[in-house]
A and B are shown apart, each in its own frame.
Chain A
């Protein structure tokens, strides 16, 4: 193919466009997000107020932390349905511990939640990687088991609910304190996104997640220990869900045995909307971040643009429509791109 042929300038530009869009799969979803922001901002002037934006950011923060772990798991061509239950257990467990020992410093509380989550995540990982139980079955089972354990724990410790009055003030300050004008609470997910982006993109163990999800046979032949890789992905997802539980506790200061119930679907929706393929090996945390923001903005728009009373009932339907719309659009765009690339190769 003569690349420098003068008559091909127009095709060259189009080719570059195709390349750019192909490389930045998050493009379409970003457009949807912008459109939604514009519509909501026109419909309700409070949308762009700093209080509202901060509210959206705080809502997104917890979702992002869980979604990072879920992204890694889905990249390895697995799925983790237990994250909502892990979040719930960690939130209640750390809440009870703080109630009994109010002197525990905040970083220790965060680590404690992450450690509890890590144990649950390792359980999932061992079942999937070494027990060879399909991830959807293993985590469907542990979803029930972990959720049941929340009730066992709350019955055993006789603590069915944790409220703000049970929690020490320095812990609650986690959700209100600022550092250089930014909420301390928001710094954690931002750091995690940056770290996860670097890890998945630039380090060997991060790239191995893509390799195992993209083609596990090829990965094994290339000398990658796929069992260890999958175990690591699930352990990470569990630890992050546990950490998310502690932040959930700090933000809402009100936790009962149903905390995080059904949250796994929002998390998976955010990851899928963000362009990470459930077939493994494709995607990343940047898309996931946009997916999380989109879900939070949708929730917020529903409240702002409709009667708040009815919004809560229709919100799931809109969620469903957006998930479907995003994956259908993504499939159509990817299909067109592949055809364009094939034509170019021909």
Chain B
């Protein structure tokens, strides 16, 4: 990208027509560059802590710990870009896992159990989508309700018992590798899912609708976008992917419990927002989410290596999340104030809404 006068775009010059991308792309590129720098920093930090960290086997195996969250983060990003939020993904993953275990105990074939779990997940997402679009309740409230409902169903079905003893063909997905390489299966599954989501969001009309709805729902409606249908599809997809992540988690942990995947929704949202998705909708990329996921996952890995307990690790994640929003905002306001001080009128120009 030939460098446009970036100071001006950042200051808020109105860019029109096809030039829109010229205004946005550098900003996104800058954000993702920042994430890459952050990722390199985390890698160096990790390497300092343990001489074994750079062992490729180790670094690849570590990724299996956060691939389920990564899977949840993909539809979460789409939903956030569309201006909605889904707090129920962790609960849906747990419900799917429990349904799987329950049907397994009932003597069903293990793959049939997987299908049942996926179907329940899609239904759970569909239910979210229908209430949001038909009754017109904010998705935050609806999914707060189903967050409790799905978790409660999972807890109720299994009580405080846990189910294990699944066949070898199902368990241990993280111990399988691609051919003779050291690449574990969850990483490959996540890579495929990420590529599919990138194509869906950045390469299809459906993806443009997602951005359009997040930018201005009413305008999208008036332009003939089937807003409700897109939102229902997004939430159904989210439920389906959550169930899939629940199955992978069950396979990796080799057991199923009602309290599986607790707090996963927060980590998925953190990955999406740290990755640059605008919580008010309208902008974001899958590339950013993937980078942010690795920053968070590897940072947690490093903190564990440094013997910092998981409970205290939440501070680092929280600080990262807040700074990722706070600093760019402060920088932008600083530039605007600077522009005004210099006597230009960049500060007063209406800022271009993000794509």
Interface residues of chain A, those whose CB is within 8 Å of chain B, are 79, 127, 131-134, 136-138, 140-145, 147-152, 155, 257, 265, 268-269, 272, 278-279, 310, 313-321, 323-324, 327-328, 331-332, 335
Q: What residues of chain B lie closer than 8 Å to A79, measured between beta carbons? A: 140
- Report yes or no: B279 in contact with A134, Cβ–Cβ below 8 A: yes
Q: How far is the CA of A250 from the CA of B137 in the complex (A)?
A: 38
Interface presence of B142 (CB below 8 A)? yes
- Report yes or no: B279 in contact with A137, Cβ–Cβ below 8 A: yes
Q: What residues of chain B lie closer than 8 Å to A315, measured between beta carbons? A: 152
Q: A265-B144, A269-B148, A310-B159 are in contact. Are A144 and B279 (CB under 8 A)?
A: no
Query: What are 5 A-B interface contacts by the 8 Å CB criterion?
Result: A137-B279, A140-B270, A147-B314, A314-B152, A320-B150
Q: A133-B326, A140-B269, A313-B159 are in contact. Are A327 and B141 (CB under 8 A)?
A: yes
- Report yes or no: B141 in contact with A141, Cβ–Cβ below 8 A: no
Q: How far is the CA of A335 from the CA of B147 in the complex (A)?
A: 25
**How many CB-defined contacts (below 8 Å) exist between A and B?**
143
Q: How far is the CA of A319 from the CA of B91 in the complex (A)?
A: 14
- Report yes or no: B140 in contact with A278, Cβ–Cβ below 8 A: yes
Q: Mark B65-94, 1 if CB is under 8 A from A, else 0.
A: 000000000000000000001000000000
Q: How far is the CA of A257 from the CA of B142 in the complex (A)?
A: 30
Q: A313-B160, A320-B146 are in contact. Are A133 and B329 (CB under 8 A)?
A: yes
- Report yes or no: B159 in contact with A151, Cβ–Cβ below 8 A: no
Contact partner of A151 among B138, B152, B309, CB < 8 A? B309
A149 nearest CB neighbor, chain B only: B315
Interface presence of B131 (CB below 8 A)? yes
A335 nearest CB neighbor, chain B only: B136
- Report yes or no: B313 in contact with A316, Cβ–Cβ below 8 A: no
Contact partner of A320 among B152, B258, B273, B322, CB < 8 A? B152
- Report yes or no: B148 in contact with A127, Cβ–Cβ below 8 A: no
Contact partner of B131 among A142, A272, A328, CB < 8 A? A328
Q: How far is the CA of A137 from the CA of B271 in the complex (A)?
A: 12
- Report yes or no: A257 in contact with B146, Cβ–Cβ below 8 A: no
Q: Mark B289-315, 1 if CB is under 8 A from A, else 0.
A: 000000000000000000001011111
Q: What residues of chain A lie closer than 8 Å to B148, measured between beta carbons? A: 265, 269, 316-317, 319-320, 323
Question: B124 CB to closest chain A CB, in angstroms?
Answer: 11
Q: How far is the CA of A314 from the CA of B154 in the complex (A)?
A: 9
- Report yes or no: B145 in contact with A136, Cβ–Cβ below 8 A: no
- Report yes or no: A140 in contact with B137, Cβ–Cβ below 8 A: no
Q: Which 10 A-B pairs have the closest CB atoms?
A: A317-B152, A320-B149, A316-B152, A144-B318, A148-B315, A320-B148, A144-B314, A323-B145, A145-B318, A141-B322
Contact partner of B135 among A133, A265, A279, A331, CB < 8 A? A331
Q: How far is the CA of A320 from the CA of B156 in the complex (A)?
A: 13
Q: What residues of chain A lie closer than 8 Å to B142, measured between beta carbons? A: 324, 327
Q: How far is the CA of A137 from the CA of B140 in the complex (A)?
A: 13
Q: How far is the CA of A58 from the CA of B299 in the complex (A)?
A: 42
A150 nearest CB neighbor, chain B only: B311
Which of under 10, 10 to 19, 20 to 34, or 35 or more describes the interface residues of B? Answer: 35 or more
Contact partner of A265 among B137, B147, B319, CB < 8 A? B147
Q: What residues of chain A lie closer than 8 Å to B192, measured between beta carbons? A: none
Q: What residues of chain B lie closer than 8 Å to A134, measured between beta carbons? A: 279-280, 325
- Report yes or no: A272 in contact with B152, Cβ–Cβ below 8 A: no
Q: How far is the CA of A335 from the CA of B280 in the complex (A)?
A: 25
Interface residues of chain B, those whose CB is within 8 Å of chain A, are 85, 131, 135-138, 140-142, 144-153, 155-156, 159-160, 258, 266, 269-270, 273, 279-280, 309, 311-319, 321-322, 325-326, 329-330, 333
Contact partner of B321 among A140, A310, A318, CB < 8 A? A140
Q: How far is the CA of A155 from the CA of B318 in the complex (A)?
A: 19
Question: B339 CB to closest chain A CB, in angstroms?
Answer: 18
Q: What residues of chain A lie closer than 8 Å to B312, measured between beta carbons? A: 148, 151-152, 155
Q: A141-B322, A151-B311 are in contact. Are A320 and B141 (CB under 8 A)?
A: no
Contact partner of B137 among A132, A269, A316, A328, CB < 8 A? A328
- Report yes or no: A141 in contact with B321, Cβ–Cβ below 8 A: yes
- Report yes or no: B151 in contact with A331, Cβ–Cβ below 8 A: no
Q: What residues of chain B lie closer than 8 Å to A138, measured between beta carbons? A: 322, 325
Contact partner of A278 among B141, B155, B315, CB < 8 A? B141
Q: What residues of chain A lie closer than 8 Å to B258, measured between beta carbons? A: 313
Question: B95 CB to closest chain A CB, in angstroms?
Answer: 10
A151 nearest CB neighbor, chain B only: B311
Contact partner of A331 among B137, B149, B270, B313, CB < 8 A? B137
Q: How far is the CA of A143 from the CA of B314 in the complex (A)?
A: 9
Q: How far is the CA of A310 from the CA of B325 in the complex (A)?
A: 43
Question: A339 CB to closest chain B CB, in angstroms?
Answer: 13
Q: What residues of chain B lie closer than 8 Å to A151, measured between beta carbons? A: 309, 311-312
Q: What residues of chain B lie closer than 8 Å to A147, measured between beta carbons? A: 311, 314
Q: What residues of chain A lie closer than 8 Å to B318, measured between beta carbons? A: 140-145, 148
Question: A145 CB to closest chain B CB, in angstroms?
Answer: 4
Contact partner of B147 among A127, A320, A328, CB < 8 A? A320
- Report yes or no: B136 in contact with A331, Cβ–Cβ below 8 A: yes
Q: What residues of chain B lie closer than 8 Å to A137, measured between beta carbons? A: 273, 279, 321-322, 325
Contact partner of A136 among B149, B279, B333, CB < 8 A? B279
Most buried by B among A136, A144, A155: A144
Q: What residues of chain B lie closer than 8 Å to A155, measured between beta carbons? A: 312
Contact partner of B155 among A257, A316, A328, A332, CB < 8 A? A316
- Report yes or no: A324 in contact with B149, Cβ–Cβ below 8 A: yes
Q: What residues of chain B lie closer than 8 Å to A148, measured between beta carbons? A: 311-316, 318
Q: How far is the CA of A152 from the CA of B316 in the complex (A)?
A: 12
Question: B175 CB to closest chain A CB, in angstroms?
Answer: 31
Q: What residues of chain A lie closer than 8 Å to B329, measured between beta carbons? A: 131-133
A330 nearest CB neighbor, chain B only: B137
Q: What residues of chain B lie closer than 8 Å to A314, measured between beta carbons? A: 152, 155-156
Q: What residues of chain B lie closer than 8 Å to A332, measured between beta carbons? A: 135
Q: How far is the CA of A79 from the CA of B85 in the complex (A)?
A: 14
Q: How far is the CA of A137 from the CA of B328 in the complex (A)?
A: 14
- Report yes or no: B155 in contact with A317, Cβ–Cβ below 8 A: yes
Q: What residues of chain B lie closer than 8 Å to A143, measured between beta carbons? A: 266, 318
Q: What residues of chain B lie closer than 8 Å to A145, measured between beta carbons? A: 314-315, 318-319, 322
